[in-house]
Amino acid sequence: MSDLLDVTHHTAALNGIIQHWVSAGDGPPVYLLHGFPETWYAWRKQIPVLAEQFTVIAPDLRGYGATEKPASGYDKRTMANDLAALMDHHGHQRAIVVGHDRGARVGTRFAKDHPDRIDRFVTIDNVPTRVLMEKVSPPLAQLGWFLTFLNVPDLPEVLIAGREEEWLTHFYRSWSYDPEMLTPEEIDVYVRAYRQPGAVRGAAMDYRASAEDVAQDLADADQLITCPVLALWGQEFEQNGRFFDVLEVWKGMAHDVRGFGIPQCGHLCMEEQPDVVNHALLAFLADSSES
């Protein structure tokens, strides 16, 4: 199915790793950063729409998809520097950044570390790492069991090996308002990506960087993001919507924040409610030249 998208695949050695990304369209640059358990393919329903007005660049994050999966560098500062290097490669001094889940964590760090390089930031179904860790409780920990599981060294990789389809399908089904939202063919795209050597370890290493990520977040907790921020989230994803007032959380992270929860939508907002997400993105980005 990914072959039907009008995108171009690229790779280059950037910030010490081989990065893979797809691109489409022409206009102001928009970078789309995926989350777990996905790859750039998560944006397949946004790319054609955004490409009508923007240059769209959707990378596989460090450790994911066709990007290199090194043994280190999964703290969000390093991953934000991956993005900065990718922008340098394209000659983009400034860009719009849209991040979902783990990609939103990278985008948050990028907005703080490189405030002069981001025009607007969209965070989709994400509670910042520091805030999430401050609010951990037994009920929240039970819902977020995978956070602890993936932090165990080596064991997840051993247990998941050969069972990638079952592992991933659990998340796609349980994190969606409609458990059948993804077709078997769409799931297979992700399964093939996560069956690559080192792919499960790469995702686990992303989570294993949480302690370092929190330390980075605490060091500049009082530094607010200066660019306009749009926060979107799925109202039916219990881990975020039940335990957090997502909009208020983000109002504590930036000077200029707007956003809303999407009804009948779980964690994978871009895939489950693409029309709502696309409309919100286009409206928010329409006046990006003013930021």
Q: Which of 20, 34, 100, 267 is catalytic?
A: 267
pLDDT of residue 2: 46
279 is catalytic: no
Say which of 41, 60, 207, 217 is annotated catalytic. 207
Report which of 7, 53, 42 is spatially closest to residue 281, judged by C-alpha positions: 53
Residues of the chain with pLDDT under 70: 1-4, 137-141, 288-291
User: Is 101 a residue of the active site?
Assistant: yes
User: What pLDDT is stored for residue 288 in this prediction?
Assistant: 59
User: What pLDDT score does 241 carry?
Assistant: 75
For the chain, give every domain's residue range: 2-290
Catalytic-labelled residue, pool 82, 101, 119, 125: 101
pLDDT at site 36 = 96
pLDDT score, position 291:
39
CATH (one of 2.60.120.10, 1.10.4030.10, 3.40.50.1820, 3.30.930.10) for 2-290 = 3.40.50.1820
- pTM of the complete model: 0.96
pLDDT recorded at residue 290: 42
Burial class of residue 132, CB neighbours in 10 A (0-12, 13-18, 19+)? buried
Beta-strand ranges (E) seen in 47-168 are 55-59, 95-100, 118-124
